[in-house]
């Protein structure tokens, strides 16, 4: 029992560390988004896009750690109506990140994906990023000349009892290959091949970790044998993963919906104990022509709302003193804030208690790192509140 408690405590501490990592990641992403709005050369825009995708990848990994302690007892990956992401887009995105390293070594690099989307459950996106990135990192690291190639395709269901279509991802390189005698040990922790030890330092955990992640995602990872062909040069790894059925599938919104511009005079309150986060969010709101005031605590927010006039409150959930939920409850108790839209801003959206947040009066929630498109969308609550409040004033004028 004590040992189980210790493991749970370690998992919670790791989740807390991951949550705290997402705060600087959120600042990095928002800063990059603001830089992207300035005039950039094509090369600067390309490099900034790589930086932003790297931040997203790190945030996905941190999110996976935050979710893990809360996953026990929940439906997790087996949801009956899961949100989905496009595996083809994910593979292309990771390829864009890794091609820089390949180009630095003078290697050819190619990614081939089908024209149609290949839907996978969104919760599998983070582990799949880690799998593909680990395989590509190894391929580029151990290949001195030639090329690295990535191919993705949909294949029919295997076996009569299965109706689930599969995605097959292959990563091939022209490196030194792996001795057939060493291949059986390849996916064990801390094991490295002779050629690998001779070329670069490493822990021997990459392939083992990739295989474990593939198994948890319901897939398989293997090294394709080349003994029959007599060509032992290079490596070819194959990842097989089940796709989501077309029926009853919910897709995740990825682009900003067409929406009317913010009404003139829209004014919101930003509540966050982190000064950098407040200033970055204020700059992003300014790009939407929305003005804002700032409060560094729940107590200061209550004073501001009592004395001011706002169309919405953007409220960080994790603050010392009054946390976000307690602050929301206190705002709702004030006459000035009983109908005002409250939007939660958090780096731990995966573990947020939605029932408690709804009871506290939150209208919506947005996750860090903030997406400008999603922020613009959730601010529809503020636009609606602003219009409704303006109509009685116009009628009485």
Residue entry with tokens 């690998």: 196
Amino acid 269: pLDDT: 96
In this predicted structure, what is the pLDDT of residue 340? Answer: 92
Average pLDDT over residues 378-386: 90
Question: In percent, how much of the chain has pLDDT > 70?
Answer: 75
Give me the pLDDT at residue 263, please.
Answer: 55
Q: Which of 4-8, 68-72, 207-211 has the highest mean pLDDT?
A: 207-211
Q: Which fold has domain 82-248?
A: Heat Shock Protein 90 (3.30.565)
- Count the neighbouring beta carbons within 10 Å of the beta carbon of residue 89: 14
- 267-396, CATH topology level: Rossmann fold (3.40.50)
Question: Residue 4's pLDDT is what?
Answer: 52
Min mean pLDDT across 48-62, 143-157, 275-289 is at: 48-62
First to last CA, the chain: 70
Mean per-residue pLDDT of the chain: 79
Residues 122 and 312: their CA atoms lie apart, in Å, by 30
Q: What is the number of residues in the chain? A: 397
Cα torsion for 243, 247, 250, 255, to the nearest 10°? 80
The answer to whether residues 106 and 144 touch, using CB atoms and an 8 Å cutoff, is no
pLDDT in tens, 136-190: 988 998 899 999 999 999 998 665 445 678 999 999 999 888 777 777 777 777 7
Q: How much is the pLDDT for 248?
A: 45
Is the pTM value of this prediction over 0.85? Answer: no
Does residue 92 carry a pLDDT above 80? Answer: yes
Decide the pairing of beta strands 312-316 and 267-271.
parallel
Residue 3 has pLDDT above 70, yes or no: no
Residue 43 pLDDT grade (very low, low, confident, very high; cuts 50, 70, 90): confident
Distance CA 122, CA 83 (A): 6
- Model pLDDT, residue 238: 95
Query: So what's the pLDDT on residue 142?
Result: 87
Confidence of residue 293 (pLDDT cuts 50, 70, 90): very high
Most confident of 1-15, 42-56, 207-221, 338-352: 207-221
Q: Which two tokens stand for residue 95?
A: 């390829």
> Does 119 score more than 80 pLDDT?
yes
The pLDDT score that the predictor gives to residue 2 is 54
pLDDT of residue 302: 94
> Does the pLDDT of residue 368 top 70, yes or no?
yes
Query: What pLDDT score was predicted for residue 195?
Result: 61
For CATH 3.40.50.2300, list the domain ranges present in the chain: 267-396
Q: For residue 315, what are the contacts with CB-CB under 8 A and spacing of at least 6?
A: 271, 301, 324, 327, 328, 342, 343, 344, 345, 362
């Amino acid at each position: 029992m004590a040992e189980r408690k210790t493991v749970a405590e370690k998992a919670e501490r790791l989740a807390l560390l991951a949550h705290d990592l997402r705060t600087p990641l959120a600042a990095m992403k928002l800063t990059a988004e603001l830089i992207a709005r300035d005039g950039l050369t094509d090369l600067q825009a390309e490099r900034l896009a790589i930086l932003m995708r790297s931040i997203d990848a790190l945030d996905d990994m941190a999110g996976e750690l935050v979710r893990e302690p809360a996953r026990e007892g929940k439906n997790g990956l087996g949801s009956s109506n899961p949100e989905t992401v496009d595996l083809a887009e994910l593979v292309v995105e990771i390829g864009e990140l890794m091609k820089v390293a390949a180009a630095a070594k003078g290697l050819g690099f190619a990614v081939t994906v089908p024209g149609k989307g290949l839907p996978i459950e969104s919760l599998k996106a983070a582990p799949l990023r880690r799998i593909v990135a680990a395989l590509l990192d190894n391929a580029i690291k151990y290949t001195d000349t030639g090329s690295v190639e990535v191919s993705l395709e949909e294949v029919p269901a295997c076996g009569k009892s299965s109706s689930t279509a599969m995605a097959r991802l292959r990563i091939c390189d022209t490196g030194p290959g792996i001795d057939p005698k060493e291949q059986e040990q390849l996916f064990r922790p801390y094991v490295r091949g002779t050629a690998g030890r001779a070329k670069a330092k490493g822990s021997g955990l990459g392939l083992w970790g990739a295989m474990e992640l593939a198994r948890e995602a319901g897939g398989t990872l293997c090294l394709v044998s080349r003994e029959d062909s007599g060509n032992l040069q290079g490596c070819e790894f194959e990842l097989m993963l089940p796709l989501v059925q077309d029926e009853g599938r919910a897709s995740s919104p990825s682009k900003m919906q067409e929406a009317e511009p913010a009404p003139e005079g829209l004014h919101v309150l930003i509540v966050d104990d982190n000064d950098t986060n407040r200033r970055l969010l204020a700059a992003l709101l300014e790009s939407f022509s929305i003005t804002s005031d700032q409060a560094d605590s729940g107590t200061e927010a209550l004073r501001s709302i009592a004395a001011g006039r706002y169309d919405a409150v953007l409220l960080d959930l994790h603050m010392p003193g009054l946390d976000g939920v307690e602050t929301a409850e206190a705002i709702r108790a004030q006459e000035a804030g009983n109908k005002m839209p409250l939007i939660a801003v958090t780096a731990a959206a995966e573990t947020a208690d939605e029932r408690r947040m709804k009871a506290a009066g939150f209208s919506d929630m947005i996750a860090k790192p903030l997406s400008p498109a999603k922020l613009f969308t959730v601010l529809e609550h503020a636009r609606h509140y602003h219009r409704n409040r303006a109509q009685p004033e116009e009628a009485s004028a």
